[in-house]
Structure formats: C-alpha cells, structure tokens
C-alpha cells in the first residue's frame, strides 16, 4: 500500500510538472498573439477595447497561477475559461458566440485547475475555426447525483470516431496548448479512474466533450 501510494504521488507530481512545462510553453505564444491584438486596438484608437483586453489577460493569468493550488473552485475555473473566450472572441473578430449554463450551487465545488480552457481551445481550433457560418460554444455545469458534469459543446465541423479517440491520446493540442489527455489524466489521478473525459461528435453537426468529477465542496475558512 505504501508503494502504491508513493507511485500515485509521483504520478501526481509528474502530471503537475508536465502542466507547468506546458503552461510555460503556451503562455509566451498566447501572450504574444494577445498583445499583438492589443497593439492593433491601440493603433485603431480602440482604447476601451484595449483596456478590457489587458484587464482580461491579467485576470486569466492570475487565476491560472492560483497561488500554486492544483484544485480551484468551479467559479474560478469558469472565470478563467470566460477570460480565454473573451480574448479569443476579440482575435477571431466575433466569429463565434458562447453561452454558459451553470448551476450556481456548484460554484464552491472543486475541480482540477485548467480543465475547461483546453476543451474550449479544442472547440475553437478543431470545430469553429474551419466553419463558414458563425460558431456557438456552450459551457454547461450541472449536478449528476454525487457527481458534476461539465460539458463543452460546439456546432463545429465535428470529428470521426478515430479523431475523437486521438485527441484523448495526444499530450499536447495542435496549437501548443495543454492537451486534453493531460487534463483527463489529472482528473483520474486526483479523483479516481471512474472520472474523466468522454468525447461525442458527429461530422457537420458538432462535438460535445463531457468531464465527470465528484462533487467536493471547498472547506470554509476557519
């Protein structure tokens, strides 16, 4: 039992190290593109938009740091995802819209940090980016008995069964982001093998990625 527990802790440490390494790679890439958009706004005299982008970018990074905590509240995780969506919506010139359908009673429940953003990124790059019509991304967080289901759905180009399986095996996303496999692995390590990610998709209809985690509330500060 001691050996198994040690192996589990080493696996958690490895995944967290991988996450930090991936964050270190994505941050300059994402930061460069965002700052490029902010510069364009300033040159066009869109100072209010530029100020909003700077504030949104600062909040996104502040939440992603989260004082080094691996588990954060669903409320903070959703704010992080929304910051990412706001920035990408500016960059994509309103090529897509997004909606949240969240049971607010779950706001103080815990989830692995940076769970939703990589799934939203996947929806944008693999679903929405290749569309002619406007894309729609819906983020839903609802209770399911003693569990929580977080669903990220898009009306994009969809994927084959083989493509669905492949995104759960890639360590990194094509855009140099945090891979869905990394997210899935961290969920299983923290919460158990019965939890994690499932992917359902239909070509020319869209994709839904569902995250199942246990309902664990944050302990109130004493």
Which residues in the chain belong to E strands, given as ranges? 71-73, 96-102, 110-112, 135-144, 147-154, 196-202, 206-214
* High-pLDDT (> 90) share of the chain, %: 44
Q: Quick one: pLDDT at residue 54?
A: 93
Q: Quick one: pLDDT at residue 150?
A: 98
Of 106, 98, 104, residue with least CA distance to 81: 98
Q: Quick one: pLDDT at residue 134?
A: 87
**What pLDDT band is residue 101 in, cutting at 50, 70 and 90?**
very high
Q: How far is CA 84 from the centre of its chain?
A: 9
CA–CA separation, 129 and 221 (whole Å): 43
pLDDT digits (tens, 9 = 90+) for 49-68: 899 999 999 998 888 877 66
pLDDT digits (tens, 9 = 90+) for 119-166: 998 898 888 877 778 899 999 999 999 999 999 999 998 988 888 888
DSSP string, 121-163: HHIIIIIITT-SSPEEEEEEEEEETTEEEEEEEE-SS---HHH
pTM of the model: 0.82
Q: Quick one: pLDDT at residue 24?
A: 58
């Amino acid at each position: 039992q001691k050996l198994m527990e040690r192996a589990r802790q080493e696996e958690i440490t490895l995944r967290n190290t991988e996450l930090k390494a991936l964050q270190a790679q994505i941050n300059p890439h994402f930061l460069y593109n965002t700052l490029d958009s902010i510069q364009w706004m300033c040159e066009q005299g869109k100072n209010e938009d530029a100020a909003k982008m700077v504030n949104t970018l600062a909040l996104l990074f502040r939440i992603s740091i989260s004082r080094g905590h691996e588990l954060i509240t669903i409320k903070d995780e959703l704010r992080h995802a929304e910051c990412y969506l706001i920035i990408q919506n500016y960059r994509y010139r309103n090529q897509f819209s997004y909606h949240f359908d969240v049971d607010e009673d779950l706001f103080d429940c815990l989830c692995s940090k940076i769970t939703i953003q990589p799934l939203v990124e996947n929806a944008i790059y693999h679903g929405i980016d290749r569309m002619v019509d406007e894309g729609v991304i819906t983020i839903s967080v609802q209770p399911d008995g003693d569990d929580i289901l977080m669903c990220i759905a898009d009306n994009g180009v969809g994927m084959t069964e083989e493509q669905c399986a492949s995104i759960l095996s890639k360590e990194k996303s094509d855009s140099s982001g945090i891979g869905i496999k990394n997210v899935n692995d961290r969920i299983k390590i923290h919460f158990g093998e019965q939890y994690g990610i499932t992917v359902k998709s239909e070509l020319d209809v869209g994709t839904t990625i569902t995250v199942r985690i246990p309902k664990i509330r944050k302990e109130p500060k004493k």
